[in-house]
Amino acid sequence: MGEGERFQLGTVGALTLSVVSSVSIVICNKALISSLGFTFATTLTSWHLLVTFCSLHVALKMKFFEHKPLDQKTVTGFGILNGISIGLLNLSLGFNSVGFYQMTKLAIIPCTVLLETLFLAKRFSRSIQIALLVLLLGVGIATVTDVQLNALGSVLSLLAVITTCVAQIMTNTIQKKHKVSSTQLLYQSCPYQSGTLLISGPFLDWFLTNQNVFAFKYTTQVLAFIIISCLISVSVNFSTFLVIGKTSPVTYQVLGHLKTCLVLAFGYILLHDPFDWRNILGILVALIGMVLYSYFCTRESQKKVSEEATQPLQAGEGESDPLMGVENGSGGVVTDAVAQKAPVWKSNKDLHA
């Protein structure tokens, strides 16, 4: 098996792991929050990251991967920024309507494209731009309902989008610039991410829900769901860094919207959530956008490889990171954030983000 085939197989595996684990943790968290009343999303995320770090530390001791030192300032800043982006996403969800929060999430892709174009000199072809527009239109139809604006919520959403985009761009660029694996980067940044949220989480959750996480009644059922959620989060966090490192920030966001569509579908099938023609139409349009995005990226990757074979000194870089394609060796950047994990903390809020 050639190097390109091995990379493509690894990319498919990373994408599959990301989708399965993310959908699983959203369903688990929805049961934990909606059914059991545990509405402390930021604190729960800090526990996720802490368990992830402990798991990776055990894996390091068992020599499943090697520790590769990185510049401490880079790792510290990256970890804290990731933690801040998660907190801002939760605040955005708390101070905005569900519809405006979904628009905030949709804004991450165009913001990432803009930042990569301005600061990383990446080029996005017209075909890929159209595919992304189709995708965003579909997700918007499926998820955006009421849109209510307020000054504080708008500022929080803007900050959440910017920090999420920058954090995801850094995830990609650090891995490629310093030649570190997703596991090595996640292991070194996890203490700073979890520390940021362990300190701020209880205060943010109290501010948003008016409840004290330490005064909550932890029944056996609640503890069981928390443990399951934390265990699944190890896979979520690992696959997030893996996907961004192997593809690109934009591709990861496209994958995140695929997860949203799947969660909507599974919520209807398994949890009997409300589902109407708008959801169905939006999901179908979004899937068309995803297929077009993957097709155009694959075609441009193949074209670029062909051109480089005939003109090895030709410079330039494009967005060529399809959902299932080959690595172009460059690029930059969820959470659904940190793994762009969806901040799910209110039963009457969108738990599918």
Residues facing 12 on adjacent strands? none
pTM value? Answer: 0.76
Q: 87 with 42: CB under 8 angstroms?
A: yes
85, two tokens: 């982006």
pLDDT tens for the chain, 353 residues long, are 555 566 666 677 778 888 888 888 888 988 898 889 999 999 999 999 999 999 999 999 998 889 988 889 999 999 999 999 999 988 888 888 777 887 888 899 999 999 999 988 888 889 999 999 999 998 888 877 766 767 888 899 999 999 999 999 999 999 999 999 989 999 999 999 999 999 999 999 998 889 999 999 999 999 999 999 999 999 999 888 888 887 788 888 888 888 778 777 766 676 566 667 887 888 889 889 988 988 888 888 888 777 777 765 544 444 445 554 433 333 333 333 333 333 334 433 433 33
283, two tokens: 């999901």
Query: In terms of Cα–Cα distance, which of 349, 351, 345, 353 is closest to 37?
Result: 345
Query: In terms of Cα–Cα distance, which of 319, 347, 336, 345 is closest to 161?
Result: 336
